[in-house]
């Protein structure tokens, strides 16, 4: 009975605040960046008191975990889409890598939260864990298919880690606006990404194995 729009997002005793808080956090993240993401600001954005979130999350970290979870879902979808769109086996890894970095560029604040909140716990981020359909497993299984049965398992694992490191590093580096000249000379952002990835062995199928 306060304002017009509130009626729908607040069915009553707030309806489902948990989801509303996560969405509020994402709005702040996209609009104002990671430094503006305080628990109080999220509560404010969702229209509740600063203490309300504590009935749905143990602390701020748990809220960030929930936000990161959404991010890993989105990233997983991006990578799966790229894998399906890839024309041939040879370009599979490159397309997945490009989609990874492009996601980080489209959602820089979210991407940062995805890693930051796992670093605080000294735990692997969600998308890198060995669950059935984690993004990490998607990459590893892709490697297994591309490499064929002759390549030892340990090399598949190492190549996956190496690829992930490279993609994550590139994701962080490409946020620095200082390679502009180089990017322009190569023909744009994506050409730059493909140029860098092209220098990394495991993005070229013929060079997967170390031998």
Which parts of this chain interact with its own copies (CB under 8 A)?
A: 35, 112, 115, 118-120, 122-124, 128-129, 154-155, 157-159, 161-170, 172-173, 175-179, 182, 185-186, 195-202, 204, 207-208, 210
For the residues of 26-46, what is the DSSP string, one character each?
HHHHHHH-GGG--HHHHHHHH
Which does residue 85 touch among DNA, its own copies, none (CB within 5 to 8 A, set by kind)? none
Whether residue 70 contacts residue 61, with contact meaning beta carbons closer than 8 Å, is answered with: no
Which residue lies nearer to DNA by CB, 61 or 198? 61
Which residue lies nearer to its own copies by CB, 78 or 174? 174
CA angle (81 as vertex; 77, 83 as ends), nearest 5? 120
Please tell me the distance from the alpha carbon of residue 187 to that of residue 173, in angstroms, as a whole number: 18
Question: Could you give the angle at which helices 92-106 and 189-198 cross, rounded to 10 degrees?
Answer: 130
Helix (H, G, I), strand (E, B) or coil at 8: helix
Which does residue 35 touch among DNA, its own copies, none (CB within 5 to 8 A, set by kind)? its own copies
Which does residue 61 touch among its own copies, DNA, none (CB within 5 to 8 A, set by kind)? DNA
Which residue lies nearer to DNA by CB, 31 or 185? 31
């Amino acid at each position: 009975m306060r304002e017009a729009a509130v009626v729908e997002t607040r069915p009553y005793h707030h309806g489902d605040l948990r989801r509303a808080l996560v969405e509020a956090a994402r709005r702040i993240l996209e609009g104002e960046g990671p430094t503006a993401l305080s628990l109080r600001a999220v509560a404010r954005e969702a229209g509740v008191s600063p203490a309300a979130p504590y009935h749905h999350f143990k602390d701020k970290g748990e809220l960030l975990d929930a936000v990161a979870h959404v991010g890993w879902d989105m990233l997983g979808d991006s990578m799966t889409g790229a894998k399906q769109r890839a024309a041939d086996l040879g370009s599979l890894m490159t397309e997945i890598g490009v989609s990874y970095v492009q996601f980080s560029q489209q959602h820089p604040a979210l991407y940062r939260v995805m890693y930051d909140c796992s670093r605080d716990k000294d735990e692997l981020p969600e998308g890198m864990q060995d669950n059935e359909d984690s993004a990490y497993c998607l990459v590893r299984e892709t490697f297994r298919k591309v490499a064929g049965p002759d390549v030892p398992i340990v090399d598949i694992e190492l190549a996956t880690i190496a690829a992930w490191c490279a993609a994550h590093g590139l994701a962080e580096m490409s946020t620095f606006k200082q390679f502009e000249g180089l990017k322009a000379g190569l023909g744009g952002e994506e050409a730059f990404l493909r140029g860098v990835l092209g220098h990394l062995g495991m993005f070229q199928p013929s060079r997967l194995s170390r031998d």
